[in-house]
């Protein structure tokens, strides 16, 4: 498997653009998959530099209904004419970030692509093919990210805390190994991994994506929590690749605990697994 990071908050060099967002190109023996499309059309620009032809992508999976993961959807649909696009049925809901002064800022997806015939709205667990599936409905046994508190949604004219039922995760199996991809892990990375274990009866071999351990406007989880998380992740025996909403400082703390069991994905990086 080859994973190329098309969009992330940082980049490996000035050659590659970066933005607050995530987009991963995944190439297996049988399929070409895109996981999230960042906040804009930047993924297209970086894809060309990395030798990725977006028109050849077979499937697009968008992890949840926030602009930094699905903002490039319109650009993708104009570039690719064949791929099926999988989003949770609640991904086009009205999602907002609550600022410190109480103002609501829209962070959801543009409704326009919703009518495209290639859009497939998911719920629960769905097998895309024999090797690829998505799942949602993660049971929260442990608290989710502390940074979820500022994220809300509007439904029937009422503003409520975002329950992140629109978040889904991608699973790909190849050569006897299972790869778990997370967008932001708003439901909590521990809860997602434990839910995966309930579904599959085993731990994943690789976990790749954002873990939501920091805020887009600054701040991150406390060090004691990060140390505890690092020990949990180590005990799963999986190998981790992370970035985006994990945050640089939380990553560095996890790295100090986990060593070579965790690595960072920046825009422009290519990882062979």
Handedness of CA 43, 92, 212, 197 (dihedral sign): negative
- Helix, coil or strand: residue 267: strand
d(CA 107, CA 91): 11
Stretches in the chain below the pLDDT threshold 70: 216-219
pLDDT at site 216: 65
Q: For position 24, what pLDDT does the model report?
A: 98
Per-domain residue ranges of the chain: 2-272
Q: Residue 218: its pLDDT value, please?
A: 65
DSSP 184-222: S-TT-HHHHHHHHHHHHSS--SEEEE----B-TTS-B--
Instruction: Report the distance separating Cα 138 and Cα 15, nearest Å.
Output: 38
SS3 state of residue 77: helix
pTM of the model: 0.96
- Please give the pLDDT value at position 155: 87
Question: Residue 100 burial by CB count (10 A; 0-12/13-18/19+): exposed, middle or buried?
Answer: exposed
Distance CA 235, CA 228 (A): 11
Q: Per residue in 8-46, pLDDT tens?
A: 999 999 999 999 999 999 999 999 999 999 999 999 999
Cα angle 167, 173, 178 (rounded to 5 degrees) comes to 75
Q: Count the alpha carbons within 13 Å of 34 in the hemisphere toward its beta carbon.
A: 34
Q: Into which CATH architecture does domain 2-272 fall?
A: 4-Layer Sandwich (3.60)
């Amino acid at each position: 498997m080859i994973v190329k990071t098309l969009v992330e908050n940082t980049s490996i060099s000035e050659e590659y653009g970066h933005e607050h967002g995530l987009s991963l190109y995944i190439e297996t023996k049988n399929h070409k998959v895109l996981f999230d499309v960042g906040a804009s059309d930047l993924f297209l620009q970086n894809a060309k530099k990395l030798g990725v032809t977006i028109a050849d992508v077979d499937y697009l999976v968008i992890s949840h209904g926030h602009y930094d993961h699905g903002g490039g959807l319109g650009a993708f649909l104009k570039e690719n004419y064949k791929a099926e696009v999988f989003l949770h049925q609640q991904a086009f809901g009205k999602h907002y970030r609550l600022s410190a002064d109480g103002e609501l800022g829209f962070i959801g997806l543009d409704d326009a692509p919703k009518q495209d015939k290639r859009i497939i709205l998911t719920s629960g667990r769905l097998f895309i093919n024999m090797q690829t599936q998505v799942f949602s409905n993660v049971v929260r046994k442990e608290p989710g990210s502390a940074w979820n508190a500022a994220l809300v949604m509007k439904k029937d004219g009422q503003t409520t805390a975002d329950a992140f039922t629109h978040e889904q995760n991608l699973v790909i199996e190849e050569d006897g190994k299972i790869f778990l991809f997370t967008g932001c892990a708003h439901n909590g990375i521990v809860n997602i991994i434990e839910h995966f274990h309930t579904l599959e009866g085993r731990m994943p071999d690789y976990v790749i994506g954002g873990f939501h351990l920091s805020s887009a406007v600054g701040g991150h989880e406390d060090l004691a929590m990060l140390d505890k998380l690092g020990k949990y992740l180590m005990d799963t025996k999986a190998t981790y690749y992370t970035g985006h909403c994990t945050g640089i400082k939380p990553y560095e703390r996890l790295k100090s605990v986990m060593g070579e069991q965790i690595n960072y994905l920046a825009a422009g990086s290519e990882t062979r697994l």
